[in-house]
């Protein structure tokens, strides 16, 4: 696992946008897995700015969702489908056909979950999966004690996650209890995992995920099992890392041709 400490959220956004643009340079139809929430927004804005400036070609990129609320009405502005279309697909100038996600409105939720895992595999697998991290250590919506081998399925959000996400709704009562999320086993199949964390509120979860044991109680610790995992953290999110000095020195000495 590589840990890169950047000065702030904007620098993290630029770094991850560079990794995505470089990937699309090598593989123009790469499948990019995107997270929602606040943390990845600087990435999407940085990538869209490069597209507008003619510095990146994302025209053949394919986008896939990580997770989705269950039961929000179709077109709800906070459904992750709406968020990804608004924050990623439209700003990058892509068509909705380039985008796939699980069906949070399905009558048969288990069938929709299995169909999404199949669709990801049929699309050739995710090339780069961007992840955020919950204050409780979740990735996607794999809450603590999710199986490290889990596939896409329905999960129940913790009270902490519902409180954290209440800011996107009129209040906590409007935050759905249930979600569909790619499982940890599904996420681990992506070729490159990039976890981005910013702000002091994530420092404890980041330290446990990076420097603690691999344990289902900290779902993000599963990244330790992946052969190509990159954790990009700002100074605040890095503030509890015991090995911060080593991570800084390693990145400073990294050959520039290597990329993330």
Which residues are part of the catalytic machinery?
67, 136, 138, 143
- Cβ at position 226, least distance to ligand F6R in Å: 16
Q: Based on CB atoms, which residue is closest to ligand F6R, 9 or 21?
A: 9
Find the shortest distance in angstroms from Cβ 79 to ligand F6R: 11
10 Å CB burial of residue 160 (0-12, 13-18, 19+) is middle
Applying CB under 6 A, the residues found at the interface with ligand F6R are 35-39, 66-67, 80, 132-134, 138-140
Among residues 149, 126, 136, the alpha carbon closest in space to that of 209 is found at: 136
Side-chain-side CA neighbours of 160 within 13 Å: the count stands at 10
> Which residue's CB atom is positioned nearest to ligand F6R?
132
CA separation for the pair 140, 142 (Å, rounded): 6
**Minimum CB distance to ligand F6R smaller for 80 or for 99:** 80
Name the residue nearer to ligand F6R (CB basis): 25 or 154. Answer: 154
Strand ranges in 92-241 using DSSP code E only, listed in sequence order: 99-100, 128-131, 153-156, 178-181, 192-197, 229-234
Shortest Cβ 249–ligand F6R spacing (Å): 28
Residues contacting 252, CB < 8 A, separation 6+: none
Are the CB atoms for 228 and 191 separated by under 8 Å?
A: yes
Alpha-carbon radius of gyration of the chain? 17
Choice between 66 and 188, CB closer to ligand F6R: 66
């Amino acid at each position: 696992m590589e840990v890169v400490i950047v000065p702030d959220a904007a620098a993290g956004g630029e770094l991850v946008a560079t990794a995505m643009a470089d990937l699309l340079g090598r593989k123009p139809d790469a499948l990019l897995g995107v997270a929602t929430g606040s943390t990845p927004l600087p990435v999407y804005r940085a990538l869209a700015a490069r597209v507008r400036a003619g510095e990146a070609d994302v025209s053949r990129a394919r986008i896939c969702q990580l997770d989705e609320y269950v039961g929000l009405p179709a077109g709800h502005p906070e459904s992750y489908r709406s968020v990804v279309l608004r924050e990623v697909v439209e700003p990058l100038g892509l068509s909705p056909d380039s985008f796939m996600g699980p069906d949070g409105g399905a009558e048969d939720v288990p069938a929709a979950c299995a169909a999404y895992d199949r669709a990801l595999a049929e699309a050739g697998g995710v090339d780069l999966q961007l992840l955020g991290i919950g204050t409780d250590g979740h990735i996607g919506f794999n809450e603590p004690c999710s199986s490290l081998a889990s596939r896409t399925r329905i999960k129940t959000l913790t009270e902490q996650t519902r409180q954290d996400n209440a800011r996107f709704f009129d209040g906590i009562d409007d935050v759905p209890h249930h979600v569909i999320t790619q499982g940890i086993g599904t996420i681990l199949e992506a070729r490159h995992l990039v976890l981005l964390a910013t702000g002091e509120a994530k420092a404890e979860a980041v330290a446990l995920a990076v420097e603690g044991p691999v344990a289902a109680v900290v779902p993000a610790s599963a990244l330790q099992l992946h052969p190509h995992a990159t954790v990009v953290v700002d100074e605040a999110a890095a503030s509890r890392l015991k090995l911060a000095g080593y991570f800084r020195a390693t990145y400073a000495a990294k050959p520039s041709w290597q990329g993330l």
